[in-house]
Amino acid sequence: MRDFAGELEERKAAGLYRVRRQISGPQQPALVSDGAPLLSFCSNDYLGLASHPELTRVAAEAMSENGLGGAASHLICGHHDAHHQLEERLARFTQRSSALFFSTGYMANMGVISALAGRGDTIFSDRLNHASIIDGCILSRARVRRYPHGDTDALETMLKSTGGHKLVVTDGVFSMDGDVAPLRQLASLCKRHDALLVVDDAHGIGVLGPEGRGSLAEFGLTEEDVPVLVGTLGKAVGTSGAFVSGPGVLMDYLVQKARTYIYTTAMPPAIAAATCASLDLIEREQARRDHLQSLIRHFRQQASAMGYQLMASDTPIQPIMLGDNWTALALSGALEERGLLVTAIRPPTVPDGEARLRVTLSAAHTWDDLNQLLAGLDESRSLLAPAAEQAV
Ligand SMILES: *Cc1c(COP(=O)(O)O)cnc(C)c1O
């Protein structure tokens, strides 16, 4: 038998071993983790909606009306009114023709990419795309060409030299860097070279654009420009699941062909009902986004003044670049001793030598929360690698 235990030991020796902490109670900045209170800066609950009382109330009501389980797949007898209403609501929210509700973002990407490209086709994928996109590409059996992160010139060269059906796929907001893809340029490139553009806006929906409609809306891009939009609902939306939206013919095609849509049990209808309520809040409550943006600006000013190396991000994802795994773990540990939870992100989630602390900010954070984080970072500066320290 393969030496599984030995491989785990190797991981430990390389600082790559992962452990799960156990959270009690609702997801919010003030967490209880393995029984101890911690102030968290690592969830993707960007708007603080994951434990919003209005959403739990709607979910509870929907549950007492419709029961709990999804019970069957959508094509058998699992497609509930609540799912249908959510799809119409998502189409309106994204200002696109139609939408399809998936059980997770991982499944949405796997299903969409493998349905829309296949053997003999070519997929062009940003080098920093999310794991679920990478796996969708593999599942599709298409030829995959990865282009350097955000490099539209390199992509254009590749598109020019490739025939046949072409699909370009990118994160809208990159999950580990926090930067936004050059969506306008990508849209016009794809039009020029007859490639189908798929944007995964897992971290943009709810946060960016007017009324939180996402990064496409921020750039004024419509369904004409970007035919396929994937969004997830477990992050800023605060519930669970994912969606794809775009032209009706594509959604119809996905219902026929996306295996991760077809061969899985429908989500509990109550999740769909709560998601509709969340979209109402997102549209209505601009104050959440305004507060979040002020926190982001303040964090960037203060942390970079301390000598921390930040990335070119204006989104709630604010990585502190550290380089080696041990420095990332040491800084994360030092913060935890001060009651602050910021996880170290290591390879293979990020490229080798690019370990970092991924700070995520949320509208649920108070100014006092942020100041506690900044104080912790200030006191932990001595842990920076020598090269970074010189820059202080
Ligand atoms: C989180 C994430 C996903 C997966 O979504 P889930 O609903 O959590 O499965 C997909 N794409 C990106 C860019 C993500 O960050």
Whole-number Å distance, alpha carbon 233 to ligand 1 midpoint, is: 9
**pLDDT tier at 14 (50, 70, 90 boundaries)?**
confident
**Letter for the amino acid at 36?**
A
If asked whether residues 111 and 247 sit together in one domain, one would say yes
If asked whether residues 114 and 151 sit together in one domain, one would say yes
Query: 85, 92, 66, 177: which is closest to 126 by C-alpha?
Result: 177
If asked whether residues 30 and 90 sit together in one domain, one would say no
The domain in which residue 328 lies consists of 18-46+286-391
Any domain includes 9: no
Mutate-to-test residue for ligand 1 from 101, 106, 173, 264, highest number of ligand atoms within 8 A of CB: 106
If asked whether residues 218 and 335 sit together in one domain, one would say no
If asked whether residues 199 and 341 sit together in one domain, one would say no
Q: What is the dihedral of CA 300, 305, 306, 307, to 10 degrees?
A: 90
Rounded to whole angstroms, the Cα distance separating 205 from 185 reads 20
Average pLDDT of span 66-73 = 97
If asked whether residues 319 and 375 sit together in one domain, one would say yes
Q: List the single range of 192-206, 263-277, 375-389 with lowest mean pLDDT.
A: 375-389
Any domain includes 257: yes
What pLDDT does 385 receive? 56
Any domain includes 76: yes
The distance from CA 365 to its chain's CA centroid, rounded to whole angstroms, is 19
If asked whether residues 70 and 110 sit together in one domain, one would say yes
**pLDDT tier at 16 (50, 70, 90 boundaries)?**
confident
Rounded to whole angstroms, the Cα distance separating 337 from 227 reads 47
Any domain includes 10: no
Angle at which helix 248-257 crosses helix 105-116, to 10 degrees, equals: 100
Among residues of the chain, what percentage have pLDDT more than 70? 98
Rounded to whole angstroms, the Cα distance separating 72 from 268 reads 10
What pLDDT does 35 receive? 93
Average pLDDT of span 39-65 = 98
**Letter for the amino acid at 102?**
F
The distance from CA 34 to its chain's CA centroid, rounded to whole angstroms, is 25
What pLDDT does 392 receive? 41
If asked whether residues 35 and 84 sit together in one domain, one would say no
Q: Which residue's C-alpha comes closest to atom 14 of ligand 1?
A: 202
CATH code for the domain of 320:
3.90.1150.10
Render the burial of 180-219: b for 16+ CB within 10 Å, e for the rest.
Answer: bbbbeebbebbeebebbbbbbbbbbbbbbbebbbbbbbbb
Query: Of residues 235, 278, 332, 380, which has the active-site annotation?
Result: 235
Given 232, 267, 284, which residue is the final one in a domain? 284
What pLDDT does 391 receive? 44
Q: What is the position in ligand 1's atom list of the atom closest to the CA of 107?
A: 9
**pLDDT tier at 15 (50, 70, 90 boundaries)?**
confident
Total structural domains within the chain: 2
Give residue for tokens 């396929």.
228
Average pLDDT of span 168-174 = 98
If asked whether residues 189 and 321 sit together in one domain, one would say no
Give the model confidence (pLDDT) of 230-277 as tens digits: 999 999 999 999 999 999 999 999 999 999 999 999 999 999 999 999
Q: Which residue's C-alpha comes closest to atom 10 of ligand 1?
A: 105
Structure tokens at 208: 């960016």
167 - beta bridge partners? 123, 196
Q: What is the position in ligand 1's atom list of the atom closest to the CA of 173?
A: 13
Give the model confidence (pLDDT) of 95-132 as tens digits: 999 999 999 999 999 999 999 999 999 999 999 999 99
Any domain includes 303: yes
**pLDDT tier at 383 (50, 70, 90 boundaries)?**
confident
Query: Of residues 175, 240, 362, 380, which has the active-site annotation?
Result: 175
Query: Using a CB cutoff of 8 Å and minimum separation of 24, what contacts does 156-162 make?
Result: 156/189, 156/193, 158/124, 159/124, 159/189, 159/193, 159/195, 160/193, 162/122
pTM of the predicted protein model: 0.96
What pLDDT does 388 receive? 47
Rounded to whole angstroms, the Cα distance separating 228 from 99 reads 10
**pLDDT tier at 386 (50, 70, 90 boundaries)?**
low
Q: What is the position in ligand 1's atom list of the atom closest to the CA of 129?
A: 13
Quote the mean pLDDT of the chain: 96
Given 250, 284, 318, which residue is the final one in a domain? 284
Q: Does 175 participate in catalysis according to the annotation?
A: yes
Any domain includes 8: no
- Which of residues 384 and 117 earns the better pLDDT score? 117
Q: What is the DSSP letter of 173?
A: B
Please, are residues 270 and 63 in contact by the beta-carbon 8 Å criterion? yes
If asked whether residues 201 and 80 sit together in one domain, one would say yes
Pocket of ligand 1 (CB under 6 A): 104-106, 109, 130, 132, 171, 175, 200, 202-203, 232, 234, 242
Whole-number Å distance, alpha carbon 169 to ligand 1 midpoint, is: 14
Rounded to whole angstroms, the Cα distance separating 124 from 266 reads 31
What pLDDT does 389 receive? 47
Q: Does 235 participate in catalysis according to the annotation?
A: yes
Given 263, 284, 305, which residue is the final one in a domain? 284
In the sheet with 344-345, reading across from the earlier edge strand, the strands are 317-323, 355-360, 344-345
If asked whether residues 36 and 60 sit together in one domain, one would say no
**Letter for the amino acid at 200?**
D
Q: Which residue's C-alpha comes closest to atom 3 of ligand 1?
A: 105
